[in-house]
Amino acid sequence: MASAVTTLVALSGISASIELPNALQSGGLIWALAALALAPLLLVAMRKFRAAFIPPLIFVGYLKTGESNGFSLTDPTILALLLLCGSILLDLLLAMIRNDQHCQRGFLTQWKGVASFCALAAVTAVSYLYSPAPSYGWDKLTRFLVISGVLFVAPLVLIRKTDDLRHFTLAMLICAILLSIKLLFGINDASLFTSAGHPLTSESREVTQIGAGQAVGFALLWLLFCTHYSLRRLSLLISVPLLCAALIASVARGPILFFAAVLVPFLCLRGVRAAVTATNVWLPVLLGGLLAFAGSLDWLQQQEAAQGKFATKRAEIEEVLRGSSTPTYTAGRRLTLYRWALEMFAQKPLTGWGLGGWSYYALDRDIPAYPHNLVLEIAAEEGVMGLAALGTLFLTVFLALRRIWRSSPDLSFIAPVFAFSLLATMTSGDINVNRPLWLWCGVIFALAGIARRRVHESKTVEWLAFPNNTFGINHLPLRDYTICS
């Protein structure tokens, strides 16, 4: 049931840009009856496989073949968001009806993490009040509060036991496989077809898929280090080579380098490495991944549209290593964007320029633009207040990770996933685009709650197992004592 629901939501992103026949579009009654018939099954899925509704909201944007045009109930992103919100509300409603103290206590134990994220959201909202780019700032604010906020809260409500982790991992596996297939089959094209349904020419195709590469990268790290899912050996043998090939096929320098920079050090840590080497097929999995890397790279170099991109990437790296003062390519231009952000922070260090202010300062226009560095973006737009809120959130995350590492090493697989997404925010995206980072913050707090409950349960078991007559004293009933007779 969980895999079926996840696949349907993910596939809706691929087919969203294909117009339905007029007969189907006009059959409102038919769609209403179908929705009523499927509603009970959907409610059961939301209850039994609640955590499986989280990953589709992250992946659906990369699976879509067209951009969203405002708010629409047929938009796959909106559908995934509504399904996830429905799962959260249903779980909270049932907890209130049953007066589930355990659920409420588990949520409240992570109040520091919730408060730190709310503080960041509040500072971001306040900075919009003095934003010089009201149009872009409003779009940025609403998307961050609604989508990223839901992604942060969802794990705290929906992930409370290892079964929820298995459902989450299964949903992520399905979404990552679908995205990898899309990347490999659409290697020369960000959207496989034009709006008229005709294939794009090689000159008009964009092969670099940074966001999709990041999604494949953190999914690959999750599958490698997480042990909480069924048929793990078979899943790794199938998914790891496919995802490794798709990571190269994204032609995104950042995700590839960050994946290697995270994978190698964490493989040297005994506690985390044990999750990879726990399965007997870990050596064939790693060899298959390396072969997929090499094969995909060789295949890409033979593609017409990718040849020019690879030449550009090599020139970018050479230019950065030479320390050119007149950057030409994207990697060099990022240094200029960072310098502008630092100048903005120097001019207004306390409050910043306001949400979306970087686009006004750098381009003198109210359009989506940002310095491609989360820390510098917040420093420029929210100033010291924003940096303090962000630092508090990351400090709370670090303390939760330390608690997980000490008490439940099997849950420490989230550490490399979070590290990968954090590194990705240093070179790409903005506070809204980097939604996976806020999701992993919520997942870390949820796993810390699970680790705390484990410690509490183990202490309870030890106390119950403690002998009542430790010191050899016979405890007589109260009525047997003389003073009470």
Q: What is the DSSP string of 272-316?
A: HHHHHHTSTTHHHHHHHHHHHHHHHHHHHHTSHHHHHHHHHHHHH
Residue 468's pLDDT is 53
Listed ranges 91-105, 206-220, 329-343; the one with the highest mean pLDDT: 206-220
Q: What is the pLDDT of residues 298-356, one digit of tens each?
A: 777 776 656 666 666 666 666 666 665 555 566 667 888 899 999 999 999 999 999 99
pLDDT per position as a tens digit, 247-271: 988 888 889 899 999 998 888 877 6
pLDDT on residue 362 = 87
Three-class SS of residue 408? coil
Q: What distance in Å separates the CA atoms of residue 172 and residue 180, rounded to the nearest whole number?
A: 12
pLDDT at residue 382 tops 90: yes
Q: Choose among 469, 441, 463: nearest CA to 151.
A: 441
H-type helices in 15-160, by residue range? Answer: 22-26, 28-48, 55-63, 76-97, 101-108, 111-128, 134-143, 149-158
136 and 367 in contact (C-beta within 8 Å)?
Answer: yes
Q: Inform me whether the pLDDT recorded for 475 exceeds 80.
A: no
pLDDT, position 466: 54
Please check the confidence at residue 226 and state whether its pLDDT lies above 70.
Answer: yes
Does residue 20 surpass a pLDDT of 90?
no
Query: In angstroms, what CA-CA distances link 430 with 137, 186, 321, 370?
Result: 12, 26, 25, 6
Q: What's the rounded Cα separation, in Å, for the pair 232 and 458?
A: 27
Say if residues 89 and 186 touch (Cβ distance below 8 Å): no
Residues 99 and 381: their CA atoms lie apart, in Å, by 43
Q: Is the pLDDT of residue 1 over 70?
A: no
Confirm if 359 and 369 have CB atoms less than 8 A apart. yes
465: pLDDT confidence band, cut at 50, 70 and 90?
Answer: low
Token duo for residue 112: 């520091």
Q: Tokens for 288, please give them.
A: 């298959």
Label residue 136 by pLDDT band (50, 70, 90).
Answer: very high
Residue 483 and residue 369: Cα distance in Å, rounded?
Answer: 84
**CA distances for 275 relative to 12, 206, 250, 280, 392, angstroms:** 34, 37, 27, 11, 30
Query: Computed over its alpha carbons, how large is the radius of gyration of the chain?
Result: 25
Distance (Å, rounded) from C-alpha 332 to C-alpha 253? 13
Query: How is residue 478 written in tokens?
Result: 């109260």
- Name the residue with higher pLDDT: 227 or 332: 227
Residue 74: pLDDT band (50, 70, 90) is confident
Containing H/E element for 211?
helix 210-225
pTM for this one?
A: 0.83
CA distances from 187 to 4, 62, 245, 434 (A): 27, 14, 11, 23
Locate tokens 């900075």: which residue? Answer: 127
Q: 227 with 77: CB under 8 angstroms?
A: no
Distance CA 103, CA 94 (A): 10
3-state secondary structure of 199: strand
Tokens at residue 54, please?
A: 């989280």
Write the Ramachandran bin of 130: left for phi over 0, alpha for psi from -120 to 50, otherwise beta: alpha
**CB neighbours (10 Å) of residue 474?**
5
Q: If you ran DSSP here, which 8-state letter would residue 146 be given?
A: I
